[in-house]
Amino acid sequence: MIKMHINTQQTHGTISRYLYGQFAEHLGRCIYEGIWVGEDSPIPNTEGYRNDVLKALQNLNIPVLRWPGGCFADEYHWMDGIGPKSKRARMINNHWGGVEENNHFGTHEFLRLCELLQTEPYISGNVGSGTVREMQQWVEYMTLDGESPMAGLRKENGREEPWKLPFFGVGNENWGCGGNMRPEYYADLYRHYSTYVRNYGGNRIYKIACGPNTADYHWTEVLMREAAGLMDGLSLHYYTLPTGDWSGSKGSATEYGVDAWFSTMKNTLYMEELIVKHSKIMDKYDPEGRVGLIIDEWGGWYDVEPGTNPGFLYQQNTLRDALIAGINLNIFHNYSQRVKMANIAQVVNVLQAMVLTEGDQMLLTPTYHVFHMYKVHQDAELLNVSFDSPMYKHGAEMIPQINMSASVDANGAIHLSVCNLHHAESASIRCLLEGAEGKQVTGTILAHSSLNAHNTFQQPNEVVPVTFTGAKLEEGELIVELPPASVVVLELK
């Protein structure tokens, strides 16, 4: 029996809704086919955006959407993506499959998508191959009201009013695909480029600097030392690979056993160590916590599905991905004093996607269901949970079996999201809720008897949330019986 304690009267800051952000890159079938099919498509659409995907994403309350990359961002020249589609320049998507990009989905199409989703845009600017002038003009084009060359060009292209642009990334992965830079060099470039990312009128831009790759603590040290005063956020990228091997096989998305299950759970938990160590460096230069740690790429990354373009990064999404999502979101909640935004990669048809499409068919993934279950935490107040997790032992290794977070919302409802990482053992929890009467508990669970269960276009409801009956209140305490390999969200009123 796991003894747990939650003081419901002591809160520890707000869990930002921006931790539930998404990422849409010009990669594989994410934008084209996944989101954008064009007005003339036989697939039912609204202004060219497919209706089924729009509806599914609207139901997630997505707070922020990052675009156009990723690695694509540092080869993207925004003027190629405005004006009449028939006249837009074409290019080669060098990073992702070497396919032709026709630029039919550009600035206007992305910002209109954000309006349809009622989400806020986060644009990644081009530092790797773009100019300062190009970046300055893009911001002016999107946000300047009144008269100016770029505002005039925007109006010629059919948009009279400027858009609100709250988030702008100055480059992406500039330690790698964004230019293979040293942190000292990029820090100077950040200072230079970010100077010209201006606030026009009432628009205020939260500027995000390119941060480290996984455990590159030197990168964080240099960026914070040289440029912390000019940034609002510093990004961090970390993906969960079952094998941990970028050069060889990352492992199958669907064909795996207990060894790969355990290594995936272990590698997912590594996110916490990364946040702690990078935050410690940030604390040194920013003790007030003004600069947010922005985890704008995360999720599971496997070998592509057999028979698909290796450059398209198309993978299936199983119960294992549901655990990856639940664990990471719990970690983000628990470190939300420093972690201010996170964007899972990627929203449709790429890596750990919310939805998959094939022609006119669409399915919701286990990851989608976790995001839907967890959205009750958005902008809620974080509660501290104290407990000693039993250890999940596998061979010579072991990790905590239970991962969780808790919050109280504006209406006083308490939510607990709990992951049981063990592939075979259930867990019994007895939780003291100090300061709360707890008259009623309800819940939802995502689980399956098969570890590699997933939804297909033939069986789209193989892994779906159902009502959880394993929780009850007894003498003021919460009693929970948690099945193995499960994600549960409880609500107490």
Catalytic residues: 173, 297
Bridge partners of 168, per DSSP, are 123, 207
List of residues 6+ apart from 294 with CB closer than 8 A: 208, 211, 233, 234, 235, 236, 339, 340, 341, 342
Measured distance CA(274)–CA(400) in Å, rounded:
17
| Amino acid in the structure at residue 102 | N
Cβ atoms of 209 and 294 within 8 Å: the answer is no
Measured distance CA(280)–CA(289) in Å, rounded:
11
> Taking the chain, what is the end-to-end CA distance rounded to the nearest angstrom?
24
Residue with tokens 């049981």: 420
Measured distance CA(417)–CA(400) in Å, rounded:
16
Q: How far is CA 11 from the centre of its chain?
A: 25
Structure tokens at 329: 């979101």
Measured distance CA(359)–CA(137) in Å, rounded:
37
Measured distance CA(218)–CA(213) in Å, rounded:
10
Cβ atoms of 60 and 345 within 8 Å: the answer is no
Measured distance CA(65)–CA(204) in Å, rounded:
17
List of residues 6+ apart from 235 with CB closer than 8 A: 169, 172, 208, 209, 210, 211, 294, 295, 296, 297
Helix (H) or strand (E) holding 122: strand 120-125
Measured distance CA(182)–CA(192) in Å, rounded:
15
- For 439, other C-beta atoms within 10 Å of its C-beta total 8
Bridge partners of 478, per DSSP, are 431, 473
Structure tokens at 422: 């063990």
Query: CA 76, 71, 191 angle in degrees (round to 5)?
Result: 75
